[in-house]
Chain A
Amino acid sequence: MTQVLERPARPAAATAAERTARRRAVLEWIAVHSLGVAAALFFVLPFVFVVLTSLMSDQQALTRDLIPRTWEWGNYAQVLDTPGFLTWWRNTLLYAGLGTVLTVVSSVPVAYALAKFRFRGRNATLMLVVSMMMLPPQVVVIPMYLFWAKQLDLSGTLWPLIVPMAFGDAFSVFLLRQFLTTIPDEYLDAARVDGCGELRTLLRVVLPMAKPGIAAVALFQFFYAWNDYFGPQIYASENPGAWTLSYGLESFKGAHHTDWNLTMAATVLVMAPVILVFFFAQKAFVEGVTLTGVKG
């Protein structure tokens, strides 16, 4: 109020102060956005160099050149023609696709019980879930390997990695539980008053509201399987017919020892699907990351 009344009395001073404030704002804008561009270069240039190298000829990839002299799009065809590469694609899709479906189906009821049921030992159960989430897979790998390989004779396949996903993945249970606790109890009570059993309540009322959480879990699980290196290394290494992209990619480098161009083309082909999926589901993914860290 006072400012408005004073302004006509001292117009020159006000404009001068305003001008300094504006100049400062512009300077800050420039500083912040130059820093932003510098950071963006750090994050983007590795991708750029990888893609550029993937389009060079064999000889040029061994030089210090940064830009391809001739654009060898055929490199990608050559990678796709490599024996095994398409099998790795198929195996990865099986592992990631089937694994994701099994994880979601088995984790939702567990997360729902932990979020909405009152029972003794609930906190203890939740703490066990978190402990399992933090457990390096190497801790129990020896007995697990002996179990799958010696007793069930399933080494050389991806089943030892897919089957456990039908039994509730700790990380997915935790993330979904975090999400489900944000759904107000009133919705559930209303459904119960209408005579819905718990299963009906879960399927009809909770699931539609939990779609963003389920999407985030499905994405994380898909990426986990896509990126997994240790699992296929333990169970599938003896049988190249069961390799996944992440595992096969490394041996691709071994087979094409000096062909950085082909290796980088293969690298692009392994990265691209993940990045495409991200662009279609960016919101769900970022929400999921935030959910795991911030909301206690």
Chain B
Amino acid sequence: MATYTLRAKRRRSALRTVAFLSPWLIGFGVFFAYPLVSTVYFSLMRYDGFGTPAFRGLDNWAYVFQDYPMFWPALRNTLWLVLVMVTCRVVFGLGVGLLITKIRTGVGVFRTLFYLPYLAPPVAATLAFVFLLNPGTGPVNSVLDGLGLPAPGWFTDPAWSKPALTALALWGVGDLMVIFMAALLDVPKEQYEAAELDGASAWQRFRYVTLPNISPIVMFAVVTGVIQTMQYYTQPLVAGKVASGVIGGSGQQFEPGYPDKSTLTLPQLVYNLGFQRFDYGSACVVALVLFALAMAFTALLMRRRGGLIQAGD
């Protein structure tokens, strides 16, 4: 070791770092940087997969924003999902997390049962919910009918399809439950004892002790929830396909969004434009919008200090 000069040593250590990072460096170039540049290129081209791409300037961009009938509904749905679904998931996840920290008997069994649905493969879980919520013979509507309550059309009614997807998302709240549970158990016990001595009510203890302590985790849950909503694809697409009854062998003829564009999300537009309409240029425009939105929220995730993802140490 002592025989190396400082410079040789430094070069060796730089080489070593590159060697260890090399799988990811190659992956970054081939599966991220190159296709991202390529996506920008295609967004300016007219290309259907055959022949050579032809330069069209900003035509694709104008088409997507002005004439493509699915873009604005998809964006509106995304906003709805961010406001309602993400909020419901965070509140419900926190509630279930709180509940599990209070349970004294059989906590292991409860935790497993609460967590299990999160693991259900999305296609399987969606199929299960389309069945459970099917308006005619589904168990949920049977029970609602039996209680004399109105039985909505769920996945077949544009007004109810997103609430139905929200119910599905609440069923799989296990990931948030675990994260909140860990955060709640980290709150210093002395703070609760002090609050109790001061005569704070249960709500006041939650409001002034619990919430301030776990607020970074709540932020984390909200921002990752928003990012996940940008990627929301399998559940709305499969729900729409199955509920509409339009499933062929390869499913290429299904126009996503059933019922009445109410389950459209941005990633579905990339599929619709690129792989159903063979308009790769316009598909790349939507892909870039998706990229900008995802990166904006990721930046938010990384900029906040304390609890959110920290790059430094």
Please report A residues at the B interface, Cβ cutoff 8 Å.
28-29, 32-33, 35-36, 39-40, 42-44, 46-47, 49-50, 53, 62-64, 66, 106-107, 109-110, 112-114, 117, 119, 123, 125-132, 134-147, 150, 164, 166-168, 170, 173, 181, 198, 223, 226-227, 229-230, 233-234, 237-238, 240, 245-247, 249-251, 253-254, 257, 260, 263-264, 267, 270-271, 274-275, 278, 282, 286, 289-290, 293-294, 296
Q: Does B116 contact A (CB under 8 A)?
A: yes
Supply 16 further A-B pairs (C-beta < 8 A) apart from A119-B17, A129-B24, A250-B242: A47-B116, A113-B21, A117-B13, A128-B28, A130-B301, A136-B266, A140-B35, A142-B284, A146-B280, A238-B250, A246-B123, A251-B248, A253-B127, A264-B131, A270-B123, A274-B120
Bound-state Cα–Cα, A170 to B27, Å: 9
Tier of interface size on chain B: 35 or more
B242 to chain A, nearest CB (A): 6
Contact: B128 with A264, CB < 8 Å?
yes
A30 to chain B, nearest CB (A): 11
When distances are taken between beta carbons in the complex, the residues of chain A under 8 Å from B116 are 43-44, 47, 275, 278
B146 to chain A, nearest CB (A): 9
Bound-state Cα–Cα, A60 to B103, Å: 39
Contact: B120 with A135, CB < 8 Å?
no
Our pick among B105, B171, B266, B271 for the contact of A43 (Cβ within 8 Å) is B171
Q: Does B245 contact A (CB under 8 A)?
A: yes
When distances are taken between beta carbons in the complex, the residues of chain A under 8 Å from B241 are 250
Q: Does B137 contact A (CB under 8 A)?
A: yes
Contact: A130 with B23, CB < 8 Å?
no
- With CB as the reference atom, state the residue of chain A lying closest to B168: A46
Contact: B178 with A286, CB < 8 Å?
yes
| Given known A43-B117, A50-B128, contact A167–B36 (CB-CB < 8 A) | no
Contact: B267 with A136, CB < 8 Å?
yes
- With CB as the reference atom, state the residue of chain B lying closest to A128: B28
Contact: A251 with B21, CB < 8 Å?
no
Our pick among A53, A112, A138, A145 for the contact of B233 (Cβ within 8 Å) is A138
Q: Could you jot down 7 A-B contacts, CB within 8 Å?
A: A106-B24, A106-B27, A142-B280, A142-B284, A223-B119, A250-B238, A294-B182
- For residues 103 through 122 of chain B, which have their beta carbon under 8 Å from a beta carbon of chain A? 103-105, 110, 112-117, 119-122
Interface of A is mostly: helix
Contact: A296 with B308, CB < 8 Å?
yes
| Given known A36-B110, A139-B36, A145-B274, contact A294–B179 (CB-CB < 8 A) | yes
When distances are taken between beta carbons in the complex, the residues of chain B under 8 Å from A223 are 119
When distances are taken between beta carbons in the complex, the residues of chain B under 8 Å from A107 are 23-24
Contact: B115 with A286, CB < 8 Å?
yes
Contact with A along B272-292 (1 / 0, CB 8 A): 001100001001100110110
When distances are taken between beta carbons in the complex, the residues of chain B under 8 Å from A230 are 233-234, 267, 271
When distances are taken between beta carbons in the complex, the residues of chain A under 8 Å from B211 are none
From B13, B125, B217, B242, residue with most partner A Cβ within 10 Å: B125
